[in-house]
Amino acid sequence: MPATEPGRCFAVPRSLLGNQCPRAAKKTGRPTFDPLSEQLTGQSCEPHTPIAASGKRYSFPVGFFLCEAEAPLRAQILARPPRAEPRSATILFISLSAAQYNLEADWAGAGAEAILRRCPVCLYDSIIGHGRRRKQAHDENHDWISIRRGLCNLCKRTFTFLPPFSPPYSHYSLIARSQALRRYFIEGCAWEAAAPVLKDPDRLADPSTLRRWFQSLDSSRPPFSSLRHTMHAVSQWLRGGEILRHGSLPLCWQTVFPFLDRFWPLRL
């Protein structure tokens, strides 16, 4: 077989084409012998038997076999459609009224109705309602509360609206955590007895849960040394009639945990 021009074309015996023109080979599906195309496309080829030098031959560009091949290229086989980016969810805390911050009204009622319209990403009033769900917020007056969800029409992000006293991914409200602080550091209860009183008695917090709550406020050594000092200072302020506020949040025994959480970590 005479040598082909490197990088451009090669010779194909007419015996392998079955007396058909080059384009007819594609319609009949008869294989063509081409080691290069076999390597690139994975097609099988019949053995090539040498013929006389006077035999009629056809010469085709390499690109013809790549575009005319019946089987897809390896890259086309392995290609997958791009995955859609997952929607991101964001937690937004809603504001409470003065009566709800002072616990004169039910703070959980705000989570059942309130929804923010302004998207913090797009900065447009593009958030619409996206359903409701229930969330655990155990304390003396609550077990499950209703909360709203929203969807931005522009950026397609989803939002969950929570009242300030119910942190995300938590089964207990900050009111219950405040009660545990007072019972352990002020009243001197043991770990088991310092658990807050709950509406659902089956959800009683264990000592490891209380330690995790306190460690979120104070990681000093010895354990809770700064928090213990601060709790005694808070007790003196409240006994003396001191009125302390952090924004709209007043300091009282029911709100001592969220109040101190604004100053984490404590190093007083």
Amino acid at 76: Q
* Structure confidence at residue 210 as a pLDDT band (50, 70, 90): very high
Mean pLDDT across 80-86: 49
Residue 144 has pLDDT above 50, yes or no: yes
Domain boundaries, the chain: 9-78, 89-162, 174-261
Q: 244-258, pLDDT tens digit by residue?
A: 888 888 999 999 999
Q: Which of 116, 118, 100 is nearest to 108 (CA)?
A: 100
* Residue 166 dihedral angles phi and psi, to the nearest 5°: -130, 90
User: Which pLDDT belongs to residue 265?
Assistant: 55
Residue 120 has pLDDT above 80, yes or no: yes
Q: Between 174-181 and 207-215, two packed helices, what is the crossing angle to 10 degrees?
A: 100
User: Which pLDDT belongs to residue 45?
Assistant: 43
Burial (CB count <10 Å: 0-12, 13-18, 19+), residue 205: buried
If one counts every other C-beta atom within 10 angstroms of the C-beta of residue 186, the result is: 16
Average pLDDT, the chain: 75
Q: Where are the alpha helices (DSSP H) in the chain?
A: 22-28, 35-41, 62-68, 74-78, 98-101, 108-113, 174-181, 207-215, 225-239, 256-261
* Residue 10 dihedral angles phi and psi, to the nearest 5°: -150, 170
Q: 36-77, pLDDT tens digit by residue?
A: 443 433 444 444 444 444 444 433 333 333 333 344 434 343
How far apart (Å, rounded) are the C-alpha atoms in residues 201 and 197? 8
* Size of the chain, expressed as the number of residues it contains: 268
How far apart (Å, rounded) are the C-alpha atoms in residues 235 and 230? 9
Mean pLDDT across 161-185: 95
pTM above 0.85, yes or no: no
